[in-house]
Structure 1
Amino acid sequence: MLSYQHLYHAGNLADVQKHALLAWTLDYLTRKDKPVTYVETHAGRGLYDLTAPEAVKTGEAAKGIAIAQDWFPTNHPYRRALAATRAERGPNAYPGSPLIAGHLLREIDSLHLCELHPQEHAALDYAAAPFGAKVYREDGLAKALSICPPTPRRGMVLIDPSYEVKTDYETIPRVLGQLHRKWNVGLIYLWYPILRDGLHKPMLAEIMALAPEALVHEVRFPPVREGHRMEGSGMVMLNPPFGIEEETKRLSALFRKLR
């Protein structure tokens, strides 16, 4: 949906879960001296100012990364990407997943970032330029299908829609199945919100029927404000890397302390 702007939600607890797992995975992939391809289907603007009126209005960052950043030691890849972003852009900057990828990947790696919203795309193009990313103003799911299997063949796709378009819940399982068949060695990650009405449940059931070996990690957290529908977030990981289950357990224990 072209009206969605992530600035209102940047740095919230759902971002913490998503970005911690993404950073851990990219760190894992770059331990080998082999190139990596990173594809993101709904990239947003890539860089956020947590003192912007939109971020302050919702208060989600104040109850998210402001609290959770101390969960991560300074050598954790998520904390490293956060520190690198703030060193370059100021103490109130927050990296979206494109900048987390940009800071953790190397010159030998490839970044493909998709964003349809015209203003968000322009901001992303500027923010991602230092990392040599290819930035597309195209439908991200269609672009991922056209890129995959990519060269280099090692790597991952992050699918992170806004879910403001209800058909996303119906479309995504089909696309995940196609991607998994086309790129059977690729790591395919899907983030989703956990809402009070449980809209994610049929989608998740369909994905697990297609890929029963996938790893699912869900966290719960208190609603940020009265009437807020999101009560948690989840990540489905196809071809999860060795060792990530320990990271998911560590994150789960940290999120449990919030309730």
Structure 2
Amino acid sequence: MLSYQHMYHAGNLADVQKHALLCFMLEYLTRKDKPLTYIETHAGRGLYRLDAEEAVKTGEAEKGIGAIEDAFPADHPYRQRLAETRARWGNSAYAGSPLLAALSLRDDDKMHLAELHPQEHRLLCEVMTPWWPHIQRKDGFGMAQALTPPTPRRGMMLIDPSYEVKEDYDTTPDFIATVARKWNVGIIALWYPILTVGWHHAMLDKLTNRFPNALRHEVRFPAARDGHKMVGSGMFIINAPYGTDEEAARLTRIFA
């Protein structure tokens, strides 16, 4: 299934949690003068317009980044990347995770992106190819398995499925276990929705049993509209960089 398109949800509260932690971790990694590899399994289009009809229709960005951005300090890496995005693409521009990563990485770092949806892949290439040519239109899980362990070995992977296929909840723990076994020094970050139907519970139980020292961070928020099933957002991070737990605690306070 390829029906999911993130343009309806870009900049929502789930994005804020995911992107704030991503920018924090990349800022930490780039402090050291050693190259790194960034891998993303479900990249999306990379750049969104919050004044687009789709974003305005749902109102999720207005209730998300529009309402909460000022709660972050001006020097927070997430706010800095957002400012760079607007300076380059206009005030309505919002960076997805691959663009946030591209703005964070250095010339000697490596980036590998996968996006299976044909339209999203085309738009991703338009934004990213001038900087980062390693963009594949294929299943992100397969790409990640083929790449790991990457060169350089230092780095991180963001796993961000749409979960439009319920089997993603069943297959993701085994996939992460395989990748972590091959790339034991890699930071592996999984985003997941918290739904009223509770499909994430079994997945998180499996992951927690396999990786008891991983960082698990969740935030809750009201449903975007009547009948909407997502009422929160979570990140499960293996080998989280130093200080990520404190950053997660700050996010909890911001969302409270």
Task: Tell me, yes or no, whether TM beats 0.5.
Answer: yes
2:249 is matched with 249
Task: Give the C-alpha shift of residue 210 in structure 1.
Answer: 1.1
1:124 is matched with 124
* Counterpart check, 1:175 vs 2:198: no
Q: Deviations over 1:95-131 (max 9, x none)?
A: 0000000001110111111000000000001111232
CA distance in 1, matches of 2:67, 2:121: 29
1:57 is matched with 57
Q: Kindly report the root-mean-square deviation, in angstroms, between the aligned alpha carbons of the 2 structures.
A: 0.7
CA distance in 2, matches of 1:130, 1:245: 34
For normalisation by structure 1, the TM-score amounts to 0.98
Query: Aligned with 1:240: secondary structure?
Result: coil
1:76 is matched with 76
Q: How does 1:55-204 map to 2 (within 5 A)?
A: 55-204=55-204
Number of aligned positions between the proteins: 256
For normalisation by structure 2, the TM-score amounts to 0.99
CA distance in 2, matches of 1:72, 1:106: 24
Task: Give the C-alpha shift of residue 133 in structure 1.
Answer: 3.9
Whether the aligned pair in 2 keeps the contact of 1:110 and 1:133 (CA below 8 Å) is no
Residue 85 of structure 1 aligns with an amino acid whose one-letter code is T
Residue 97 of structure 1 aligns with an amino acid whose one-letter code is S
CA distance in 2, matches of 1:101, 1:130: 14
CA distance in 2, matches of 1:36, 1:194: 31
2:24 is matched with 24
Whether the aligned pair in 2 keeps the contact of 1:46 and 1:99 (CA below 8 Å) is yes
Query: Aligned with 1:131: secondary structure?
Result: coil
Q: Deviations over 1:208-259 (max 9, x none)?
A: 1111111100000111111111100000000111111110000001111xxx
1:238 is matched with 238
1:219 is matched with 219
% identical aligned pairs: 61
